[in-house]
Amino acid sequence: MVNIKINGAEYSVPDGSTILQAARTAGIKIPTLCYLKDINEIGACRICVVEVRGAKSLVAACVYPVNEGMEIFTNTPKVIESRRTTLELILSNHNMSCLSCSRGGNCELHQLCNEYGVDPHRFEGENQKTEIDNSAVHMYRDNSKCILCRRCVAACAATQRIGVIGANERGFATQITSAFDMDLADTACVSCGQCITACPTGALSEKDDTEKVLEAIANPDKYVVVQAAPAVRASLGEAFGYPIGTNVEGKMIAAMRRLGFDKVFDTNFSADLTIMEEAHEFLDRVQNGGTLPMITSCSPGWVRYCENYFPEFIPNLSSCKSPQQMFGAVVKTYYAQKIGKKPEDIICVSVMPCTAKKFEIGRDDQNAGGVPDVDISITTRELANLIKKAGIMFNDLPDEQADSPLGGYTGAGVIFGATGGVMEAALRTAAWKLTGEDNNAPVDFKEVRGVEGVKEATYNVGGKTVKVAVASGLANAKKLLKDIKAGKASYDFIEIMACPGGCVNGGGQIIQPASVRNFTDIRAERAKVLYGIDENCKLRRSHENPDIKALYSEFFGEPNSHKAHEVLHTTYKERKLYR
């Protein structure tokens, strides 16, 4: 510990702390724009400057370490004027169309400008000419709103080890773009959306498909159903003032019903269905010499990454569609027959924590009913905007339950949204099967839980030793796959999710500012919601779901049957990095 003073008050803080961290410990918030803990600690934006007694100039609190006896001043007139001037210089080349911006009301730059009382016209002059990159199916880039903080660059390069964006040109001409100014669609971007959640302004945003949803609901000739992913209920409440880690499942369902959907279902149902297929596929590979390790295929960002960067592992991918796509496939086949509708007359909408789902709905071999399994995929943020636009008073809604028969789920289905959840859910059913369908088979596999980037465990189930690994974040996936290729590691079953911490931290979730992200593990807080629901579920293994049992009895026969493969399974292909 070292002893310091901040604004005249004495504090003892851990040696090695930065001024930013020390001030936070003391209950003082120092503003930042470029800083993201662990991935973008570059001291570039100069918003976090403070005075240090004896220093010749202001220092960047995010990178400046404390030392014994240091005296720090965070709110002097000199500091405040410096921050205000920096903000005004940023605004001199910034598109201030705040009223129509996708980040209206949730923009870190706007918030700081309000706090510091800036003059937006102080440095008026030439503005850089930019064009919106609309090429990608999942998002757009508007560099007229970019402040060159490089947080998106760090998310892509450090968190995901992809690095398809960076700073091009120099000086006033500097822009964040792809190499050689390529369209984003022509790069090896995997659509994960981590750059969007890192961005402090409206320079990056998902493609808004809410108008498509409203048009579908308003069409009397279409039967419109909606599904919501497990992780959505763990984040949606944040858009309406609820604390991080609040379960709003009941209100979410009530809100979607009031939007006018004909049926409100739950992707947790098809997560259970995915486990039925995936667990049995794994057992089949183990018992009949199939390709191992088997790797999960629920995360479309991961699947696209595998196709781009590690095509040699394509045979290892589970052939199961993701829960989103399985749900759509069941709606357009089994459910369509059940209600006497043609598949083409049903519109299936999904609400996902993931921007890569917008890419996934257009993949090949995702049309079990002769039409796309899922027609429209929107993010958690888009759902929140729809609810607000419709004038629905979310906080005042009663808790409601999803419709049947595609709305019931077990605890195994809901934990899909957290890293390790797919693995644990699969192990629950696999263990039950390997132990002779013994209901006393283990249910909790806690070794694969937690937000660590890579986890591994070995289980003895039914006399068989099963070695598993879990990775979240593509940088961790890359390391894991390289170790396997080099013979340094060997597993039977692997779960990979593109986003660090899993879907709870997906690129489509409610965006939290850096002031929260840097000091709160939102991944862990949201994951607690899902594990809490699981703990309180009467049924906690996918094969126990009565709606799943009925689906197999009435339609598929048994897991991995010929009909199940036609409807619930898919194929993959190697993709060229640059088309």
**What confidence tens digit (pLDDT) does each residue in 99-126 have?**
999 998 899 999 999 999 999 999 988 8
Predicted pLDDT at 388: 97
Q: How far out from the chain centre does Cα 218 lie?
A: 30
For the segment 283-308, the average pLDDT, to the nearest whole number, is 95
195 pLDDT tier (thresholds 50, 70, 90) = very high
* Residue 578: pLDDT over 60: no
* Residue 485: pLDDT over 90: yes
- Residue showing tokens 């598109």: 95
Q: Is 439 exposed, middle or buried (0-12, 13-18, 19+ CB in 10 A)?
A: exposed
For the segment 66-95, the average pLDDT, to the nearest whole number, is 97
For the segment 185-196, the average pLDDT, to the nearest whole number, is 96
Asked whether the beta carbons of 147 and 45 are under 8 A apart, the reply is yes
The DSSP secondary structure of 472-493, one letter per residue, reads ESHHHHHHHHHHHHTTS---SE
* Residue 347: pLDDT over 70: yes
Asked whether the beta carbons of 59 and 52 are under 8 A apart, the reply is yes
577 pLDDT tier (thresholds 50, 70, 90) = low
Q: What is the chain's percent helix, strand, coil content, to nearest 5? A: 40, 15, 45
For the segment 319-340, the average pLDDT, to the nearest whole number, is 98
The domains located in the chain, with CATH, are: 2-75 (3.10.20.740), 98-206 (3.30.70.20), 211-568 (3.40.50.1780)
Predicted pLDDT at 158: 95
How many percent of the chain have pLDDT more than 70? Answer: 99
Q: Is 536 exposed, middle or buried (0-12, 13-18, 19+ CB in 10 A)?
A: exposed
Mean pLDDT of the chain: 96
How many percent of the chain have pLDDT more than 90? Answer: 94
For the segment 155-173, the average pLDDT, to the nearest whole number, is 95
Measured distance CA(167)–CA(148) in Å, rounded = 8
Sorted by sequence, the CB contacts under 8 Å of residue 440 that are 6+ apart come out as none
* Residue 382: pLDDT over 70: yes
How many CA atoms does the CB half-sphere of 430 hold within 13 Å?
A: 31
pLDDT in tens, 235-288: 999 999 999 999 999 999 999 999 999 999 999 999 999 999 999 999 999 989
For the segment 436-450, the average pLDDT, to the nearest whole number, is 89
Predicted pLDDT at 119: 95
Nearest Cα to 261, choosing from 229, 227, 225?
225
For the segment 430-450, the average pLDDT, to the nearest whole number, is 88
Predicted pLDDT at 464: 84
Residue 160 amino acid letter? Q
- Residue showing tokens 């005296």: 71
Residue 475 amino acid letter? A
Q: How far is CA 482 from CA 107, 470, 475, 478, 564, in A?
A: 39, 14, 11, 6, 33
Measured distance CA(414)–CA(271) in Å, rounded = 8
Please tell me whether the overall predicted TM-score, pTM, comes out greater than 0.75 for this model: yes
Kind and range of the H or E element at 227? strand 223-228
pLDDT in tens, 4-36: 999 999 999 999 999 999 999 999 999 999 999
- Which pair of structure tokens corresponds to residue 557? 């026969």
Predicted pLDDT at 460: 87
Asked whether the beta carbons of 13 and 58 are under 8 A apart, the reply is no
* Residue 579: pLDDT over 70: no
Residue 549 amino acid letter? K
Asked whether the beta carbons of 429 and 279 are under 8 A apart, the reply is yes
For the segment 565-575, the average pLDDT, to the nearest whole number, is 96
Predicted pLDDT at 255: 98
Measured distance CA(524)–CA(418) in Å, rounded = 9
